[in-house]
């Protein structure tokens, strides 16, 4: 069974940092790209970032470039999102998501609140 179990998140002041984690199981983690998607309160879904299966390639939405960094540890089947220089507009529920042969799978989501 494919599982994506997220951790991290919380309340942080503007300009602060947070690190999100997503522990994967049930599939060949190092074979598949991974994504972060977020949803601000009352808004739609927004793709944030993606990383290739081997971790060598990373892609970002313009809104987060230079502030958020995606990475993965294939030895631990874990995806990360390092969030620096956080802004109020980064407040959202963050989901890790992967598109496998057998379907698209989402983590349970973790809330990030940026507020003073």
Partner 1 sequence: QSVLTQPPSVSGAPGQRVTISCTGSRSNIGADFDVHWYQQLPTKAPKVLIYGNLNRPSGVPNRFSASKSGTSASLAITGLQSEDEADYYCQSYDNTLNGWVFGGGTKLTVL
Binding site for partner 1 (CB under 8 A): 35, 37, 44-47, 49-50, 59-61, 93, 95, 99, 103-109
Nearer CB in complex with partner 1: 66/103: 103
Residues belonging to the chain: 116
Nearest approach in angstroms of CB 11 to partner 1 is 19
Nearest approach in angstroms of CB 116 to partner 1 is 25
Nearer CB in complex with partner 1: 33/78: 33
Nearer CB in complex with partner 1: 6/78: 6
Nearest approach in angstroms of CB 45 to partner 1 is 5
Nearest approach in angstroms of CB 111 to partner 1 is 11
b/e map 56-78, b = 16+ CB within 10 Å: eeeebeeebeeebbbebeeeebb
Residue 40, helix vs strand vs coil: coil
């Amino acid at each position: 069974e494919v599982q994506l179990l997220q951790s991290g998140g919380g309340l942080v002041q503007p300009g602060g940092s947070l690190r999100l984690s997503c522990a994967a199981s049930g599939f060949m983690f190092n074979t598949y790209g991974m994504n972060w998607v977020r949803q601000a309160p009352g808004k739609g879904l927004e793709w944030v970032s993606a990383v290739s299966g081997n971790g060598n390639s990373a892609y970002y939405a313009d809104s987060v470039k230079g502030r958020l960094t995606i990475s993965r540890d294939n030895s631990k089947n874990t995806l990360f999102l390092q969030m620096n220089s956080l802004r109020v507009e980064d407040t959202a529920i963050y989901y890790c998501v992967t598109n496998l042969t057998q379907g698209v799978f989402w983590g349970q989501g973790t809330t990030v609140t940026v507020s003073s």
